[in-house]
Structure 1
Amino acid sequence: MAEVLENRPVKFTITHYRQQQHSHEAFIKWIVEEHLPLAMPVFEKHGVLEYSLFVTPPYLNGALKQEIGGLRPSWDFADFDCFIEYILPTVETITNVMSDPDWQLAVKDQENWVDVPKALVSAGYSTPYLLNKKPVNISK
């Protein structure tokens, strides 16, 4: 990967859609109960700092689209099942994790559960500007 100029943790995100033969609930259960126990040792080995699973149930996204869609008709509303956030020490950590043989074991059932071609990934830096109702990281 290209040289990273900033010396701070990297946020790596990925959205996942489930395979349609599985319910949203079964999909999230697979991630939490089957995938994560296999993935956690790989994360520890490569120094992954944080992992968060942002679950986006269809009923909540549908209600949001109904409520806000009229106010913002040009907005496109996401319909993926979850959004995964990793906080990593370096961009290279992504490659290190994904090339680890134990990672291959952790994702062995992925094709059955995840609609892989629809995944959307991104990497960047996160800066909070409001924490616990208090402004932070702003000059005024």
Structure 2
Amino acid sequence: MAGPLKYTVTHYRRKDRTHEEFLKWFVEEHLPLAMPIFKRHGVLEYTLFVTPEDLNGALKQELTKVRPTWDVADFDCFLEFTIPSAQTIKDVMSDPDWLNAIKDENEWCDMSRSLASLGYATPYLLKTGEVVNLPKFK
């Protein structure tokens, strides 16, 4: 496959922090330090996907009715990076400023539960309503 990669990371907050406190720290303290590093190393896009407990609880309640064997992920947020290559991850993490950007993460995140993945994303339905990348769609 060609094209940019997607790199994702899930984070759980420490249990002694509320979801709201965690997100406030993440957005107001961590991201302002991280963004210049992301830009410096060619991160193409970055999205913070937040998973509040009330939404996940409601989803779980409804989902068990139609998919009883499924579980609902319970992490607090999902980070999605669009990057030109896997080297970008190494470059960000080895940047001298990165240690400062993550200096408080152990006070806020349960790092033992974080999960990372690397792969490709292929769009099939665009915001415009257009279906793409399907050879036989009418």
Instruction: Provide TM-score, normalisation by structure 1.
Output: 0.94
Aligned match of 1:19: 14
Matches within 5 A, 1:60-79: 60-79=55-74
Aligned match of 1:119: 114
Aligned match of 1:37: 32
Contact 2:53 2:74 in 1 (8 A): yes
Aligned-pair CA distance for 1:32: 0.6
Q: Which runs of 5+ in 2 are unaligned?
A: none
Aligned-pair CA distance for 1:135: 0.8
Aligned residues: 135
Matches within 5 A, 1:35-114: 35-114=30-109
Structure 1 runs of 4+ aligned residues shifted over 4 Å read none
Please list the CA deviations of residues 29-84 of structure 1 after superposition, one character each: whole Å capped at 9, or x if unmatched.
11110000000110111011000000000000000000111211100110000000
Q: Distance in 2 between matches of 1:80 and 1:96?
A: 26
Instruction: Provide TM-score, normalisation by structure 2.
Output: 0.95
1:29 corresponds to which letter in structure 2? K
